Structure 1
Amino acid sequence: MGDRKLSLKKLFEYYDQVLSLPHRAEVARELRDEDDLFMLLCYSEMLGIPNPAFYYTLELYPYILEKFHEWHLRMGLEKSPLTGIRCC
């Protein structure tokens, strides 16, 4: 009985992977776009765009600082647009 449950679970996992395989790139792109939007919202005050949640996003800077370099390169900026943050 235990082997049957295990094999049924593996079958469901395989079925899920087969269904999601064609959409992996699309899902990854959507997640990256959401992440880019989040980074823009977090750093918008420093870029001169008013952000009403600036006080709350301030606490997140140490955690997202590592991703900042990849983000500004994806946005087409060769160097960091922020004077306070030098990553290049």
Structure 2
Amino acid sequence: MTGDATRTGTAGRLRAVADVLGDVLAGPYARTFARARQDEDDLFMVVVMAEALGVPNPASYYTVELLPVVYDQVHDWHRRMGLDRSPLDHFSCC
């Protein structure tokens, strides 16, 4: 019984040390990681909305199901892309 408690306590401490080391090592690159994630999200938006933007999309059958999920993010996305208004004719967010 005490062996299990010791292992759990040791595992918890090791996890805490690993979290601190992860923060120390990744901290200076947090902005870079956030920017890379934002770029991936923007690419995802383009892929999902390609058919609505007039770009032929061979995967439109699969991505059309994701449109309701990304509609909340359209405004932020088109602002980041430098567009004053939404490029979608049927969706006006501004």
- Which residue number in structure 1 is paired with residue 41 of structure 2? 35
Number of equivalences: 88
> Take 1:75 and 1:38, find their aligned partners in 2: how far apart are those partners?
13
CA RMSD across the alignment? 1.3
> CA 1:5 to 1:56, structure 2 compared with 1: closer, same or farther past 3 Å?
closer
% of aligned pairs identical?
43
Say yes or no: does 1:49 pair with 2:49: no
Q: Which runs of 5+ in 1 are unaligned?
A: none
Q: 2:22 aligns with which of 13, 16, 21?
A: 16
Deviations 1:28-74 (A, max 9, x none): 10010011011011111122111111111111111110011100010
Query: TM-score scaled by structure 2?
Result: 0.85
Higher relative contact order (CA 8 A, sep 6+): 1
Structure 2 residue runs of 5 or longer lacking an equivalent are 1-5
Larger radius of gyration: 2
